[in-house]
Amino acid sequence: MSPVQVHIASLAQRPICLQLRRVVFIEEQGVPEADELDDRDGESLHLLAWRGDEAVGTARMRLVGELAKAERVAVRADARGLGVGAALMARLEAEAQAQGLLGVKLAAQESAVSFYLKLGYEIFGEPFMDAGIPHRWMQKAL
């Protein structure tokens, strides 16, 4: 079993990120394409997680003030539970820290809150709906 490697996606690899997001969010979770695809990809840092020669996960990071905002964290169904999400978040946090940012915030789907709690994130604010899915705001100081 190959270990998970997370790299910053090149411009040429962006379509791989978008395909992973399409599979997880649009096809699997039923998120409307108009909600998933936005105009913020160009201002974001994109990460790709690999196991061997297979892309199994992606995430993007945007700057929001002095924080990094983790967005579009997606792991292929057949790669869940293998440490892919944790590896993506560790790399995203390392990139944020390297840029001198104070922390990371994200809007977690309710079903993923326990995953982020294990990584040291804390819930703040009230629950809210996004693309028809219950979410919670979470943050972690770096």
Q: Is the pLDDT of residue 92 over 70?
A: yes
Q: Is the pLDDT of residue 2 over 80?
A: no
pLDDT tens for each residue of 49-89: 999 999 999 999 999 999 999 999 999 999 999 999 999 99
CA–CA separation, 121 and 6 (whole Å): 20
Q: From the CB of residue 33, how many other CB atoms can be counted at a distance below 10 Å?
A: 9
Domains along the chain? 4-106 (3.40.630.30)
Predicted confidence at residue 1, as pLDDT, reads 62
Q: Is the pLDDT of residue 23 over 70?
A: yes
CA–CA separation, 139 and 104 (whole Å): 6
CA-based torsion, 110, 7, 34, 22: positive or negative: negative
Using DSSP, how many helices (H) and how many strands (E) does the chain show?
Answer: 4, 7
Query: What token pair was written down for 31?
Result: 């998120």
pTM of the model: 0.95
Cα angle 135, 85, 58; round to 5: 90
Read off the pLDDT band of 34 (50, 70, 90). confident
**What average pLDDT does this structure show over 102-129?**
97
